Structure 1
Amino acid sequence: MSNPWWKSSVVYQIYPRSFCDSNGDGIGDLKGITSKLDHLQALGVDVVWLSPVYRSPQDDNGYDISDYRDIAPEFGTLADFDEMLAAMHARGIKLVMDLVVNHSSDEHAWFQQARSSRDNPFHDHYIWREPKADGSPPTNWEAAFSGSVWEWNEATGEYYLHMFSRKQPDLNWENPALRQEVYGLMRFWLDRGVDGFRMDVINMISKPWQADGGLPDAPVVREGFLQPGFALTCNGPRLLEFLREMRHEVLDHYDTLTVGEAPMATTRQGREISDPVDGALNMLFQFEHMDLDSQPGDPRGKWALKTLDLRDLKRTMARWQDELHGCGWNSLYLSNHDQPRPVSRFGDDGEHRVRSAQMLGTWLHLHQGTPYVYQGEELGLGNVRFERIEDYQDIETLNMYRVATNERGEDPAELMRAIHAKGRDNARTPMPWSDGPHAGFTTGTPWIKLNPTYPTVNAAQALADEGSVFHYYRRLIALRKAHPIVVDGRHDLLLAEHPQIYAYTRTLGAERWLVVCNFSAASPVFELPADIPAARWETVIANIDEPAGVDLHALPLRPWEARVIRLLG
């Protein structure tokens, strides 16, 4: 039986606001995307994941949707969308839309009706609770974008739940009528020709506390902080039931790629949800490896910086590889619209920018799963370090800075250091297409400042240089299509306790590949374990020329070196 197409695919994420602007208003749009599809075809990707382009007030850059069946005017029209989709399909590229149905915008017609009266038929599309006896919010939970998860609604005398911005009220999936609305809008886009969905925070649609109605206050970890609501709102008891219903009602009737964003997911949940027979989605975005460079238990969350210990990354990735092999499927990613740039986070965005970006790509793409490439990752684009908080646009970043400085008196310099490392705007600066005005992104004024490296780090330069990150990624992507071992091979971790070398094997039948990556600027020596035979071998791909007289039992690695080796005999 052949694999489904998405197992051998590579997905490229487009953040439309920052990809390419066709009309000079400083905001990327659908016609701009269409104009740059040759770039994606040359890279060799199979699927585009498009972040939201629906009609929206843009409180959270499109993740607050006011009309699920229309396009935001700044991005274009439905006709522009159809033209873009046809151009993708003509190039053999499929399209996955962002499905944001844990919450809507407070400007959506559903919520405008819901907030008007407790008797309104749409009232139960959202989650409402009475105030405490003193009139305060029902719980002390903190939203992802700071402040309480509860917002007062005067017309009904209730609080509504919002796990993110107050302009993003959570939808009530306990209501069957709401679920049917969601399935209808999914069919609308699938019938239009899209090829699947990336589902935003999908494991929050079933709230654990909705089952018994309990709303306990939780102990505050540190004075001045509310209790993070995420831990109390993910993975409710009806999650699989809802997702299986979605599969039965919608997904089983189309040939789709589905990936669910799932904060705090475990490998058990990964297996359950992505099981090809009894599950509901093809794969999850889990966050364990993305949380390893934050201080565990610190109420500042991701802003509490910690140096990554490579051994932690090995344990996390190996567990997901091993426990989903043969019974589920992994998604593979290091960056997206919510994450900083991996070459700055895990590599070296200075002297060794190109080589460390290539190493990280090798390490990621040779694992089992479907790889995701975020726009600019294929150029080795790094973080930005804007000096002023006013230069940032992201609601999460701005709210965190305001609360931390005004309410907790934290050091602005330390906060800016955290923003430079982890802020979401690191990923949202305009795509640098050339070294020309505004990096070739727009003829107008960009909606957010450019990454100042664009004169030397841009797509035109990368395509002209055979040694660039772009061409290396192109070769990595081609490997997946040419060699079944990359898709189906078993993963086995080597050297679990080595602090600098990340090595593992992939095995399929009699074929075995060895992946060796140096996560440092040092020169450690790789020693092949004695139980792995290597009478003969050949390099499949590497980011640096092969040294003379190589001995796999004592291989000196150069800074940020990556090498994939086929073991023979």
Structure 2
Amino acid sequence: MIAGTRWWQRGIIYHVYPRSFQDTDADGIGDLKGIEERLDHIAGLGCDAVWISPVYPSPMKDHGYDVADYTGIHPLFGTLEDFDRLVARAKALGLKVIMDFVPNHTSDQHAWFLESRASRESPKRDWYVWRDAKPDGSPPNNWISVFSGPAWKWDEATGQYYLHSFLPEQPDLNWRNPDVRAAMYDAMRFWLDRGVDGFRLDVVYYCMKDPELRDNPPNPGWKPGMPEIDTLLQAHSNDHEDMTIVISEMRELVDAYDDKLLIGEIYLPLERLMAYYGRDLSGAHLPFNFQLILTPWEAREVDALVTQYEGLLPPGGWPNWVLGNHDQKRVAARVGEAQARVAAMLLFTLRGTPTLYYGDEIGMPNVEIPPGRGEDAWGRHEAGFTRDPQRTPMQWDDTDHAGFSSVEPWLPLSPDWRARNVAVQDRDPGSMLTLHRRLIALRRASPALAIGDWSGIESKGNVFAYKRHHEGDEITIVLNFGAGEEVVRDLRLAGGRGRITLSTHLDRDDEEVGDDLRLRPNEGVIIVA
């Protein structure tokens, strides 16, 4: 415990995609009992919280992000009693539980939407975004769904279009209706009362749109190969300034409970991301910062990103960093296996709360999905944009089906699963898993790394270097983003000397170094003065 800090400031979040973590009922799909069984792994890594992607009742058109009931559990994953046992077990291990909450849209099978589309006179008609067609019968505006095609679906029975920013089976709620907000806040209280420690808010920046529903302008930067939605700039279909009202109401709700966390999924430029901290920090505790995923993996680019982000944070705003999630290519696929080790050192030594995606601790790759095995809704609607490759089952050991299930899993395993799994890497002192455990242990033991200040060190070429410091303790991190050897000059270590406490190669412990440092290809080091 570090005095004067919240658990989510000094802590590490582990992201579980429940379909792919552990199957206990032999259907090839992960479940809540499976997560409970594997909590020891998460706690053993040294993480502080587990964030669980949606497990609500759902038709599974978007694998649970199409919610049919916000206060239940899909039988595929278990029962409410299973969830309660999972929470209790997590608490016993010292882990917090963060629930994924989907505020922008429901399933078209949710009771609210079934009532809304029953007639134009339905009491819940205005719970969703309904509009008349244009005189020529076309949709009300030019907005495009994230998954391609128009963001409007014609309802023959009532003669209007409804808005769906994602799938047609995911109609958008009307967050300008106070009854909608009240109902959603009741659902959040349901889970808080069951003991969850906070929420990750799915695409929360979509909740408030332009009230006039104006057309989006064309994107001059669009190029072939980019998704269809990027043909337009999302100027009016999300991130309306009234979003601050919603995010502050959600924050007030969670603040009524003891020490809860609010995370916002927000894919916006850094300048706009800052607005989601709210006026006087009355918004999300952690507006998710995805820039390490989106920025080219080059030392100068990452250096500039970190410097810019640190400079834009509002006074008192706490930073956070993410390398991977269920929507993005795995870090090992983006930067390569060797650089994935450097990326891990970066994640756990930057200032702010890190989030670790399941499987990245063993360097899981993106997995090629054979024809006919694809499951992702985006892939079914727009060729070339499937998210299945980063959602494949966790690789626990070298037994059949990698210890994930006793039957064929819902998605295929990586071809290297017999060599790349938790059990094998647990026995290897040079493994990616060992590196993660040592990085996390070092972070937890060092106030400078956990909550200390950050300052950059002037560096060139493929090297990114910086310092972390807290109450007289100073730690220097030097990362080689290149595949060649690098010599770094003038690190300005205290007294001109220091020792390497950890290298990404896991073979330079306690080596004494000076202000000039030689780095091997794809190597990062942590130096204690």
TM-score by length of 2: 0.93
User: Which aligned pairs between 1:365-384 and structure 2 lie closer than 5 A?
Assistant: 365-384=348-367
Residues 328-339 of structure 1 aligned to structure 2 (within 5 Å): 328-339=317-328
| Corresponding residue SS for 2:501 | strand
- 1:421-466 Cα offsets, whole Å, 9 max, x none, are xx42222100011111111111112111111110100011121222
The answer for the alignment partner of 1:290 in structure 2 is: 293
Write out aligned runs for 1:16-415 (5 A).
16-207=18-209, 209-210=210-211, 213-216=212-215, 218-219=217-218, 227-228=231-232, 230-267=234-271, 269-270=273-274, 272-274=275-277, 277-293=280-296, 308-324=297-313, 326-346=315-335, 348-349=336-337, 352=338, 356-386=339-369, 388-401=370-383, 415=384
Report matched runs for 1:359-508 at 5 Å: 359-386=342-369, 388-401=370-383, 415=384, 423-495=386-458, 498-508=460-470
Which amino acid counterpart does residue 392 of structure 1 have in structure 2?
Answer: G
Q: Distance in 2 between matches of 1:92 and 1:551?
A: 37
CA distance in 2, matches of 1:397, 1:83: 35
Q: For residue 390 of structure 1, give the secondary structure of its aligned residue in structure 2.
A: coil
Question: Aligned pair in 2 of structure 1 residues 169, 196: CA closer, same or farther (>3 Å)?
Answer: same
Encode CA deviations 1:543-562: one digit per residue, 9 max, x unaligned: 23239986544322112111
Tell me which residue corresponds to 1:565.
527
How far apart, CA to CA, are the structure 2 residues paired with 1:514 and 1:250? 37
5+ unaligned residues in a row in structure 1: which ranges? 294-307, 402-414
Counterpart residue type for residue 546 of structure 1? R
- Contact 1:275–1:327 (8 Å) recurs in 2: no
* Secondary structure in structure 1 of the residue aligned to 2:72: strand
State the alpha-carbon separation in 1 of the partners of residues 241 and 332 from structure 2. 38
Q: Determine helix, strand or coil for the equivalent of 1:85.
A: helix
Q: Is the 8 A contact 2:244 2:278 kept in 1?
A: no
Please give the alpha-carbon distance, in whole angstroms, between the structure 1 residues aligned to 2:472 and 2:36. 44
2: distance between equivalents of 1:518 and 1:313?
12
**Matches of 1:539 and 1:128 in 2, distance apart?**
61
Q: Count matched residues.
A: 521
1:358 CA drift (Å): 2.7
Distance 1:518 1:174, change over 3 A: same
- Inter-CA distance 81–28: structure 2 relative to 1 (3 Å threshold): same
1:238-287 Cα shifts (integer Å, max 9, x gaps): 111111122224433332121101111434642x4336954222111133
Once the two structures are superposed, what CA deviation does each residue of 1:166-224 show, in whole Å capped at 9, x if it has no partner? Answer: 111111110000000011000100001111000111111111x11xx142253365799
2:356 aligned partner, one-letter code? V
Q: Residues 152 and 158 of structure 1 are in contact (CA less than 8 Å); yes or no, is this contact kept in structure 2?
A: yes
Q: Deviations for 1:283-333, whole angstroms, at most 9, x for unmatched residues?
A: 11133333334xxxxxxxxxxxxxx44322221222112332752012211
Stretch moving more, 241-250 or 164-173: 241-250
The structure 1 residue matched to 2:516, chosen from 521, 541, 554, is 554
Cα displacement (A) at 1:399: 1.9
Q: 1:309 to 1:560 in 2, by over 3 A?
A: closer
Q: Cα 1:114–1:327, aligned 2, differ >3 Å: closer, same or farther? A: same
Query: Against the structure 1 CA distance between its residues 455 and 230, is the aligned structure 2 distance closer, same or farther, given a 3 Å change threshold?
Result: farther
Task: Confirm or deny: 8 A CA contact 1:12 1:49 kept in the other structure.
Answer: yes
| Residue aligned with 2:62, SS | coil
- Farther off after superposition, 518-527 or 427-436: 518-527
Distance 1:129 1:83 in 2: 44
Q: C-alpha distance in 2, partners of 1:511/1:549?
A: 19
Aligned residue for 1:67, secondary structure, equals coil
Does 1:510 find its partner at 2:514?
no
Provide closer, same or farther for how the CA distance between residues 5 and 277 of structure 1 changes in structure 2, counting only shifts above 3 A.
farther
C-alpha distance 361-534 of structure 1, shift in aligned 2 (>3 A): farther
Contact 2:467 2:474 in 1 (8 A): yes
Alignment correspondent of 2:499: 538
Distance of 2:286 and 2:128 partners within structure 1: 27
Contact 2:213 2:236 in 1 (8 A): no
Aligned equivalents of 1:189, 1:217: Cα separation in 2: 36
Amino acid at match of 2:376: D
- Counterpart-to-counterpart distance in 2, 1:198 and 1:444: 31
| Structure 2 match to 1:12 | 14
1:520 aligns with 2:509: no
Work out the percentage of aligned pairs sharing the same amino acid: 39
2:160 and 2:258 map into 1 onto residues whose CA distance is: 40
Moved more, 144-153 or 388-397: 388-397
Q: Is the 8 A contact 2:497 2:515 kept in 1?
A: no
Q: Is the Cα–Cα contact under 8 Å of residues 443 and 450 in structure 2 kept in the other structure?
A: yes
Q: What amino acid sits opposite 1:284 in the alignment?
A: P
How far off its partner does 1:234 sit?
2.5
2: CA distance, partners of 1:456 / 1:3: 40
Q: Contact between 2:254 and 2:262, CA under 8 Å: does it hold in 1?
A: no
**Structure 1 CA distance for aligned equivalents of residues 289 and 510 of structure 2:** 41
CA distance in 2, matches of 1:547, 1:40: 25
The question of whether the paired residues in 2 share the 8 Å contact of 1:265 and 1:287 is answered with no
Q: Deviations over 1:47-76 (max 9, x none)?
A: 000000000111111111001111111111
What CA distance in whole angstroms lies between the structure 2 residues aligned with 1:160 and 1:202? 19
Question: Could you say which residue in structure 2 is the equivalent of 1:407?
Answer: none
Aligned residue for 1:410?
Answer: none
What do you get for the CA RMSD once the two structures are aligned? 2.3
Cα 1:66–1:465 change in 2 (3 A) is same
